[in-house]
Amino acid sequence: MIKIDMRNSWILLLLVLGLVSCQNESQEIAKPNIIIIISDDHTQQAISAYGSKLTQTPNIDRIANEGVLFNKAYVNNSICGPSRAALLTGKYSHKNGYRDNENSSYDSSQDQFVNHLQKVGYQTAWIGKYHLGEDPQGFDYWEILPGQGHYYNPDFIQMDGSRVRKEGYVSNLIEDAAESWLDSRDQDLPFLLILGHKATHRTWMPDLDDLDMFDEVEFPLPDNFYDNYQNREAARVQDMSIAHSMQMAYDLKMYPEDTKDGNVTRMTADQRERFDGYYKPIQKALNEAELEGDALTEWKFQRYMRDYLATAASMDRNIGRLLDYLDNHALSENTIVIYLSDQGFYLGEHGWFDKRFMYEESFRTPMMMRYPGVIAPGTVSEDFVMNLDIGPSMLQAAGLEIPKDMDGISFLPVLTDPEAEGRDAVYYHYYENGEHAVSPHFGVWTDRYKLLRFYKRVEEWELYDLGNDPQELNNLLGNEEYAEVHREMYSKLMKVIEKYGDEEAKTIAEHPLNGDLNLRKK
């Protein structure tokens, strides 16, 4: 038995209270730091962690290898602004108000997951592409690109509203700014840093050091490159094909001598000399070849792939710089790192570039997370997760309640508890009705089937069996063998529409079209 001298008990009490205080303080500091890296238009097909044979992305792969690779990560609305709004708010577009990049404006004063982190002492920052206006709120520090920003010598909007032009390449400059902020933060407080990369957004302009990175590579055409869009009117009327929509100057840098394109006129003389020294010989050879038809289309595809993947290479290199910074500053073990894109992208599938459709290449997003001590290295998740789920997941990681009005759910349970149940379906709604002639549409995707409803530009339903048709080439609408599947998927769609309160979709979905197959009858 241990005996205590009561005359000195007050000393013991003070020691105990001091220990408890230190423990509480330690627990506060131990809240995980959070870094979310968002790219634009990057895609699973271009990431080696997903098995891509097109390129190597060692630093993005490192996040997956040291944590979890999400094989079934999806977005609410496959376009950059609405996707980022959903990430911040945990809500679908019809609730957060940012439906498209044409007519919407983002209310940054609304409730966002970052505000909840701020309230419990997190230092918060957004650096790089924001694309939700010019007044980020919920951040102690921000430095953002105006709109899409530029690849070379970009302007950065400062917190006082001024604009500073920085000489250099955008991916390098964003990483420089991130490390500068990390150096200047309060070392005793947890932090949230959101890093918004411009890469790999159109017009795919590589770092000058990477221009010729893929010149010796001949990329294989996707199997469905020459898709004929049979029985898929929305796919037929789009304006995002490599053959017809990709522009020789704007997209592929075959500029006339007197170009006024702001992407190149902002370059220094030395930068322009290196840039022209690479592209002008390519242009000369193209003119001499006099290509046309499929030969020209396939030349455009090769040129597109080389620029796109070289643009991604610089971003991957800078992600490596950030991971090294964490290692060198003893931050790796208590920092969550998430990488994702605003959405996926087409690398020639269906003959396309761009995104927007609920078809797999643009609907899904690359996503991975490193969370030392919680997520085992080498984890692969086959559970449905969404960009909407990131905010709730980070709130749970910080020990905070998840607001009940968020549509997203934390994905941490399905990563840590074998008995936990995640989503059984994913709901999607795309609104924009102009750019690339992609018709607005919504739909639901389960573990095998996908049902879509297009409206406005095109009025039609589409049904796919991805178990038998992973490339989504065969619209099964009207196929009597799938009549029961169609009815079940329609029922699932109406349930998720009701769950998320999407009244516009509900009204449209209830409107009958040819081929509805008596959906309301059992």
Placement of tokens 């030969």 in the chain: 295
Placement of tokens 């500053």 in the chain: 329
How many C-beta atoms surround the C-beta of residue 387 within 10 A? 27
Angle formed by the axes of helices 293-328 and 58-65, to 10°? 60
φ, ψ for residue 441, nearest 5 deg: -165, 160
What was the pLDDT predicted at 514?
57
Q: What is the 3-state secondary structure (H, E, C) of 408-432?
A: CCCCHHHHHCCCCCCECCEEEEECC
101/92 Cα distance (integer angstroms): 15
Q: Hey, what are 47's tokens?
A: 């990431």
Angle formed by the axes of helices 293-328 and 269-289, to 10°? 150
* Letter string b/e over residues 420-449, b meaning 16 or more CB atoms within 10 A of that residue's CB: eebbebbbbbbbbeeebebbbbbbbbbeeb
Classify residue 486 as exposed, middle or buried by CB count within 10 Å of its CB (0-12, 13-18, 19+): buried
Beta bridge partners of 442: 429, 453
Radius of gyration of the chain (CA): 25
What was the pLDDT predicted at 369?
98
Cβ atoms of residues 100 and 432 within 8 Å:
yes
20/351 Cα distance (integer angstroms): 63
pLDDT per position in the chain (522 positions), as tens? 333 343 444 433 434 344 344 444 434 447 999 999 999 999 999 999 999 999 999 999 999 999 999 999 999 999 999 999 999 999 999 999 999 998 999 999 999 999 999 999 999 999 999 999 999 999 999 999 999 999 999 999 999 999 999 999 999 999 999 999 999 999 999 999 999 999 999 999 999 999 999 999 999 999 999 999 999 999 999 999 999 999 999 999 999 999 999 999 999 999 999 999 999 999 999 999 999 999 999 999 999 999 999 999 999 999 999 999 999 999 999 999 999 999 999 999 999 999 999 999 999 999 999 999 999 999 999 999 999 999 999 999 999 999 999 999 999 999 999 999 999 999 999 999 988 999 999 999 998 999 999 999 999 999 999 999 999 999 999 999 999 999 999 999 999 999 999 999 999 999 877 555 555 443
148/128 Cα distance (integer angstroms): 10
- DSSP 8-state assignment for residue 287: H
Strands 68-70 vs 73-74: parallel, antiparallel or unpaired: unpaired
Report DSSP letters for 104-171, one per residue. Answer: ----TTS--HHHHHHHTT-EEEEEEE--S-S---S-SEEEEESTT--SBS-EEE-TTS-EEE--SBHH
Q: To 5 degrees, how large is the angle CA 26–CA 27–CA 33?
A: 100
Reference 440, options 33, 46, 97, 99; nearest CA is 99
What was the pLDDT predicted at 515?
52
457/236 Cα distance (integer angstroms): 12
Element (H, E) at 247: none
How many C-beta atoms surround the C-beta of residue 140 within 10 A? 18
What was the pLDDT predicted at 393?
98
